[in-house]
Chains A and B, each alone.
Chain A
Amino acid sequence: MTSLDDTPRAAHELRYTLLINAAPQSSQAAKTALRFAESLLQMGHHIERLFFYGDGVLNASRLTVMPQDEINIPAAWHALIEANDLASVVCVSSAIRRGIVDAAEAQRYELSATSCYTSSEIGGLGQLIEAMSNSDRMLSFG
């Protein structure tokens, strides 16, 4: 991703919840969300929680492989989440339908593999509602 060296600092720091509803490969929305999240942090804003919903859960897939000249969005999310110690939740009901499972879900459904980056936690919609309540802004992408 481009480094936005000329990004100004925010005059007033705000808390944001981002709802990401788009798959990384099918539209620009996930890329926009990623760049928006990076810009928020560069400006000094706080990200209360990332919430991946619907097809957006595919952003947490650690099994995604992209051609070398294309950005691997799930890997970029993972790096951003780890580097900034962000809270990131993947909606459980959206995730298991799409084969996004962590060790606990794999065990529960007797699946032979895990696919969710460990930087995101698999959780419920209550965590979206809770995060929104603790945020100044909620933006949805996709």
Chain B
Amino acid sequence: MDNSKPNKQTISLIARRAPYGGDGARQTLDIVFAAAVFERPLNYIFIGDGVFQLVAGQNPKEISSKPHGAALETLELYGVDEIFVHRYSLHSRGLDESQLACRVNLIEERALKQLIAESTYVINL
């Protein structure tokens, strides 16, 4: 890696699971917060069923879980604004931008590939 630019290392975190079936969604989010606290440049990327994590107004109390979307709303306070959503994943699940808990950038497959290819580290939980 390019050691002459230690502060330019970009971490891409890929969220690809629905929020409550497993703990992958929460684990990815926790790494995002840690990276943000350390002021590391990061891309938070939602693909596949991961787009369900972003839906506003989640209420998983009945299944004894904490709402995932509520934590996502605080991302902006942590300076995390590079949130990317694969457009096709979102639309093919009957969702659109207006239903999401935070502001996101919709991107196409080609841009997604480039984003990942240009990242120093990729974490895919």
Contacts and interface: CB of A to CB of B under 8 A. Distances in A.
Contacts of A125: 30-31, 33-34
A44 interface: no
Interface string A123-142: 01110111011001110100
Q: Which of A21, A136, A137 counts the most chain B CB atoms within 10 A? A: A21
Tier of interface size on chain A: 10 to 19
B35 A129 contact: yes
Given A132-B121, A140-B124, A126 B6 contact: no
Given A21-B125, A140-B125, A54 B27 contact: yes
B1 A136 contact: yes
Contacts of A77: none
B103 interface: no
A40 to B, nearest CB: 16
Given A130-B38, A136-B1, A19 B123 contact: yes
Contacts of A54: 23-24, 27, 125
A129 B33 CA distance: 11
A94 B125 CA distance: 14
B43 to A, nearest CB: 14
Given A132-B11, A136-B1, A53 B27 contact: yes
Interface string B21-45: 0011001001101110110100000
Contacts of A114: none
Interface of A: 19, 21, 53-54, 93-94, 124-126, 128-130, 132-133, 136-138, 140
16 contacts: A19-B123, A21-B27, A53-B27, A54-B27, A93-B30, A125-B30, A125-B31, A125-B34, A126-B34, A129-B11, A129-B34, A129-B38, A132-B9, A137-B1, A140-B124, A140-B125
